[in-house]
Structure 1
Amino acid sequence: MTLTTYKWTIERYHQAIEAGIFDDQLIELWRGDLIIMTPEREPHAYYNTEAADYLRTLLGEQVKIRDAKPITLPNNSEPAPDIAIVKPLGAVYLEHHPYPEDIFWIIEFSKATLSKDLGEKKDIYAQAGIAEYWVVNLKSPQLQVFRDLQNGQYTTELTLTTGAIAPQAFPDVSVQVQRLIPIRNS
């Protein structure tokens, strides 16, 4: 028996959304495949919201912070990262979700989906040209930073539990790691 799978294009995916086919499901499009998303639990929602508010305070009007909103990537992917820090293009986003060239960096908060976020999702973002990708590991409180793209792969990986980091797009901005990761209970 030959197994054939259907690969979705972004156009067909949008048509299905408009037709209401996915109204009762949390899904993302990854490389033409529909991925059912795990509902977020309270810690995930809490840290995501706190981090987004913190980044809005730090970065002000020079960016738009998008929480769990889709981005459109050229590899038939339309994920909805936990936080996308994008150019503040205003009404342009009525016409399309941010493209890679509109995105400064992406942050995912991860516990149940950690292996996917550090594997396939990281690869999707790198191959699409997302310059910087951060994963907040909610299992073992740490921030994993991926940057320095070469040939569709991140060449630098940093793991931080304390201190501060400057996003590549904003070298004068100091993001305190402790404001993003869970508090360790002694």
Structure 2
Amino acid sequence: MTQPKTTKLEAGAAFPTFEVPKIGGGTLKVGGTDAGWTLLIVYRGKHCGRCKNYLNKLEKTYSKWEDAGFSVKCISADPIEKVNDDIAKFGWTFDIGYDLQEAEMRAMGLYVSDPLSSQETDRRFAEPGIFCIRPDGTTQIIAISNGPAARPDLDELLDGMIFTIENDRPVRGEV
């Protein structure tokens, strides 16, 4: 059966609201209104070396994001066992959700891929997506890729977001 095409989120649109199970228990709520800004990183999963490098860089800047008023959330389609393996190996301390479903991937406008082999992974997964979500639940930054090699530099993104917040800059790209 052919899957429906993904509809891309528009700049300034309300981010879709959903929940995924969270490492450590409970759920990780995504979208909707929040007390502050949110940095959401959707990563491909345990099979992706570039994702691990990116999340290791995030760990190094995590406290700076929090100091800037951001809630940091990461999610993937991986099952809990794979996420726990990576946390044990890399020591990530930010919130991580797992078992992201294809419908949620598509609602976020992400590209979805089938594994190249059973050694890669056993399920469809989302290609990378980085979102900065305003406290009112709308999108400020949407950075999606159809492959693992293109992602925004986290230091540059943080610097830009601090400028955006301090200068009350509007959402761009709405025309």
TM superposition score normalised by structure 1 = 0.30
TM superposition score normalised by structure 2 = 0.31
Larger Rg belongs to: 1
Greater percentage in strand: 1
